[in-house]
Amino acid sequence: MEQRERRHDIDLLRVLSFGTLIIYHTSLLYGTKTWLLNSEEDIRLIDLIAVGSHPWRMSLLFFLSGLVTSSLLDRKSVGEIRRSRTRQLLLPLFVGVLLIVPPQIYLSQFNPLPELSYWEFWKAYVISGLRLEHMWFLAYLWIYIFVWSLVWPRLARHWPGLSGAFASFLKGANLFVAPIVYLSILRLWLYPIVGETLVITNDPYAHILYFSMFMAGSLLMNEQSFWREIDRQRWMSCALAVLSFLALATVVVAIPREQWPDALVAVMRVVRSIFQWCAIIALLAFARRIATRPNRVVAHLNKSILTYYIVHQTIIIILAHFAAVFGFLDVSSFVPIVLATALVCIMIAETKRLSAVYLWPLAPRLTAFRRAERAPVS
């Protein structure tokens, strides 16, 4: 099967989406939303970081995951993709839940057992019930890839023209109207009932939203008419994204969330849906124009971006905890915590990479040497 040229725009968007998580999660320390840790003063202006990034970021990541999964069909079978993704996702998920997440809970303001030592707390955490925290993305993505691996062969066999029909549908006004109506219905009807729990067994809103984004990406990866259409509509999508963000930002800054009337809540959910989809389309379109050739920095970061994702939130909480201990957890510590988190992520990722390069190849030799040492002398 012919192998297609690498999509550098996908690499760029993955790095951008994961990279903004460091800024987003750090902003939660200082905003009005209750989080694992919060500074004594909450600042509504800081909430604009979440308003401007959270609606589109995770949806875009699942869309990109669908694109990447579909592109792998050029050189792997559906079963091979499922097995390789299982190896890539489940081991980091288990390590993260067992080792990376517990320090967040232990240092958070919601620690149910603050009197225990960390070791005693960890044992209680493992026995009483593990928590995903930000590792939910890995768990959800694995589920979606597994479901996709069962569904995709049947779709391709029974509806071979489905991808083309879907791309043809998303033209002209439908590129905006249909997805925005779909997202608005989810946000107006389902979200008020069930919310977004990020608990695998009880999160219908998030599963419908994120799995549909994943499937949209897998369907549209090779549909050039879709990519031409979003390029043609790039300035319109950009303008709509900017205008909808300004509307969201104005209301968030001007009116405390608890004072929003029901009608305003409904309007804001529709505006958020407009911003979500238009930002995704604009980012996809402009990234494809910008990232037309390999970039060494993006390529290097892309190889380690999963490591950044796994460790970043725990690093933020540890840094914020010590900032609070020394009385520095205020808005002036925002930038230092972001920079320090990025630096520690780089150090961990580079240590992991260098270990894989220099130590892993020695493993077979060390094993053979140990076996030789244990062998009986003739």
Query: CA separation (Å) from 24 to 47, 57, 305, 337?
Result: 9, 10, 16, 12
Q: Say which residue, 138 or 5, is predicted with more confidence.
A: 138
The average confidence (pLDDT) of the chain is 92
Q: What is residue 208's predicted lDDT score, i.e. its pLDDT?
A: 97
Query: What is residue 7's three-state secondary structure?
Result: coil
Q: What is residue 75's predicted lDDT score, i.e. its pLDDT?
A: 87
Q: What is residue 354's predicted lDDT score, i.e. its pLDDT?
A: 87
CA–CA gap between residue 327 and residue 196 (Å, rounded): 33
Write the DSSP string, 96-159: IIIIIHHHHHHHSTT-S-TTS-HHHHHHHHHHH----GGGHHHHHHHHHHHHHHHHHHHHHHH-
What is the rounded average pLDDT of the residues 193-206?
93
Please say if the pLDDT value at position 265 is more than 80. yes
What is the rounded average pLDDT of the residues 122-139?
92
Between the ranges 154-163, 178-187, 197-206, where is the mean pLDDT highest?
178-187
Please say if the pLDDT value at position 285 is more than 90. yes
Please say if the pLDDT value at position 66 is more than 50. yes
What is the rounded average pLDDT of the residues 113-134?
92
Please say if the pLDDT value at position 128 is more than 90. no
110 exposure class (CB count in 10 Å sphere: 0-12, 13-18, 19+): exposed
Does pTM surpass 0.85? yes
User: To which H or E segment does residue 185 belong?
Assistant: helix 174-185
Please say if the pLDDT value at position 130 is more than 90. no
Let me know: does 47 contact 252? Beta carbons within 8 Å: yes
Q: What is residue 359's predicted lDDT score, i.e. its pLDDT?
A: 66
Long-range contacts of the stretch 353-362 (C-beta < 8 A, 24+) = 353/303, 353/304
Please say if the pLDDT value at position 296 is more than 50. yes
